[in-house]
Amino acid sequence: MTPIAFDRDDALLRPRLFLFNLALTVAIIVLAILGLFPLPLVFMAGLAIALVANYPAVKDQSARLKAHSENALPIVLLILAAGSFTGVMTGTGMIDAMAKGAVTLVPPALGPWLGVVTAFLAIPLTFVLSNDAFYFGVVPVIAQTAAHYGVAPELVARASLLALPVHGLSPLVAAIYLIAGLLGVEVGATQRFGLKWALILTLVLISAATLSRVIL
């Protein structure tokens, strides 16, 4: 096996601040465990102190932030945008309106089974839709509709997760391209081989969840 080499810039090391950084890390962990302050506040304060102490120059601080948060920032922005989207849809009453419209389309006898229905709907929907479109756009409407039939929102949430084996093979998931590249095969071949096993696993999960009344 070829060893993996990690590039390290010795100029960024702060051996003289080792004890300070260790104490700061321990303090942050203790505060997080004790729950004396909100977690975001604890970690933001810890980050600010660590940056100022280790890299007093603003230019160096910006470089360190960019080096370590370049991949995380898009995810944070995505979560904020998705939360705003869901909040707007809820606050303006759009989700309620869509749910009321959907109620008229659902046969009354099928209402109590919406958890199971959601699990089966999730199979094709999570394959053709992104996670954001499905979980922030579709699932809230289904949950609101199910509430009219006495189905708890957590049942719908659990059911929506059961199709994740199929979603893992979706062309909208970046990991499938990485895996195909590592294996040296085409993405289509990977999907054709794995889809039947993903479907079987999903059906087993739905059956087990239904029999154990986790989604019912």
**pLDDT digits 0-9 by tens, 142-200:** 888 888 888 899 999 999 999 999 998 888 777 787 788 778 888 888 889 999 999 99
Of 55-59, 74-78, 113-117, where does mean pLDDT reach its minimum? 74-78
Q: Is the pTM value of this prediction over 0.85?
A: no
| 115 vs 84, residue with greater confidence | 115
- Quote the number of domains for the chain: 2
CA neighbor of 196 nearest in space, from 204, 184, 186 = 204
The answer on 54 and 129 residing in a single domain is no
- Is residue 215 within 8 Å of residue 162, measured between CB atoms? yes
The answer on 28 and 99 residing in a single domain is no
Looking at 70, 93, 114, the residue that finishes a domain is 70
Domain assignment of residue 34, given as a range: 10-70
The answer on 184 and 144 residing in a single domain is yes
Tokens (6 digits) for 95 = 């989700």
Tell me whether residue 60 is in a domain: yes
The answer on 186 and 102 residing in a single domain is yes
Tell me whether residue 80 is in a domain: yes
Q: Flag whether pLDDT at 3 surpasses 60.
A: no
The answer on 84 and 50 residing in a single domain is no
The answer on 114 and 188 residing in a single domain is yes
